């Protein structure tokens, strides 16, 4: 985890933010901070002095260590991954189940010849309605889990604290204990009609990739090595 957290710190963009007493002290709203420079790093170090008991120049490292420890001990990322893996069928298959549920002509099938339809997607259109609903629902649940916000809240424990209402976390390198609270934000289920948006986006990505391969043939070999041969 530590390498991933460190990479987020170095290029936070809109994916990593730190708040202190409700105020944003690191990261950007709307993707403001693209990368961490010396001035940003020093300002962040100074802001952490009342929460992380470490020497100047070491506080950021210890905070990232604390975040890593919290993620590892809680097992949150493993559980989140299980939900994200519910989309066993990708969007190129889900779109067929979607049109069956909506009782609409399948636009995806219109782009195929008869052999491609029979070999790849005829089974999806012959499924019971309950199975089609399950496929689309699981896909949207997985999509929601891939586009949420995880918030970790740390409160340094005072000496003598025994009972904590939340989980307690001990950071050995600073000899500090923290109350830990984890919450997820933006858990609203993706709407049913969003399936069409995801399908169109996927088709655009494929289209632009094919165009790039035509102008830069070396990309095709690179894609195969990365396991992206589906775009061929």
| Domain chopping of the chain, boundaries | 2-76+150-185, 194-232
Q: Which of the residues in the chain have pLDDT under 70?
A: 29-38, 116-119, 159-167, 217-232
Calculate ∠ Cα 136-141-144, nearest 5°: 125
Contact present, 151 and 108 (Cβ < 8 Å): no
Report pTM. 0.78
CB 89 within 8 A of CB 192: no
Q: Dihedral of the CA atoms 29, 34, 37, 40 (nearest 10)? A: 0
Cβ–Cβ under 8 Å, residues 120 and 111 = no
pLDDT tens-digit map of 3-27:
999 998 888 888 899 999 888 888 8
CA dihedral 101, 105, 111, 113 (to 10 degrees): 100
pLDDT at 229: 42
Between vectors from CA 77 to CA 72 and to CA 79, what angle results, nearest 5°?
Answer: 115
What sign for the dihedral angle of Cα 163, 165, 171, 177? negative
Q: How far apart are CA 123 and CA 121, in angstroms?
A: 5
Helices (H), the chain: 2-10, 38-47, 59-74, 76-84, 91-101, 107-110, 114-120, 122-125, 129-145, 194-215, 218-225
């Amino acid at each position: 985890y530590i390498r991933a957290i460190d990479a987020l710190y170095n290029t936070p963009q809109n994916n990593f933010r730190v708040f202190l007493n409700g105020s944003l002290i690191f990261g950007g709203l709307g993707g403001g901070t693209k990368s961490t420079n010396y001035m940003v790093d020093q300002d962040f170090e100074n802001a952490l002095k009342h929460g992380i008991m470490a020497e100047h120049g070491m506080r950021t490292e210890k905070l990232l260590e604390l975040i890593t420890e919290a993620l590892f001990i809680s097992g949150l990322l493993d559980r989140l991954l299980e939900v994200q893996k519910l989309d066993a069928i990708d969007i190129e298959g889900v779109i067929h189940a979607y049109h069956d549920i909506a009782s609409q002509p399948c636009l995806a099938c219109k782009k195929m010849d008869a052999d491609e339809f029979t070999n790849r997607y005829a089974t999806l259109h012959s499924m019971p309605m309950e199975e089609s609903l399950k496929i689309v629902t699981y896909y949207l649940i997985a999509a929601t889990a891939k586009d949420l916000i995880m918030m970790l809240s740390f409160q340094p424990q005072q000496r003598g604290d025994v009972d904590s209402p939340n989980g307690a976390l001990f950071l050995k390198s600073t000899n500090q204990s923290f109350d830990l609270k984890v919450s997820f934000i933006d858990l609203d289920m993706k709407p049913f009609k969003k399936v069409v948006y995801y399908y169109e986006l996927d088709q655009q990505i494929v289209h632009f990739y094919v165009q790039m391969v035509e102008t830069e043939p070396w990309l095709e070999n690179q894609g195969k090595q990365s396991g992206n041969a589906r775009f061929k």
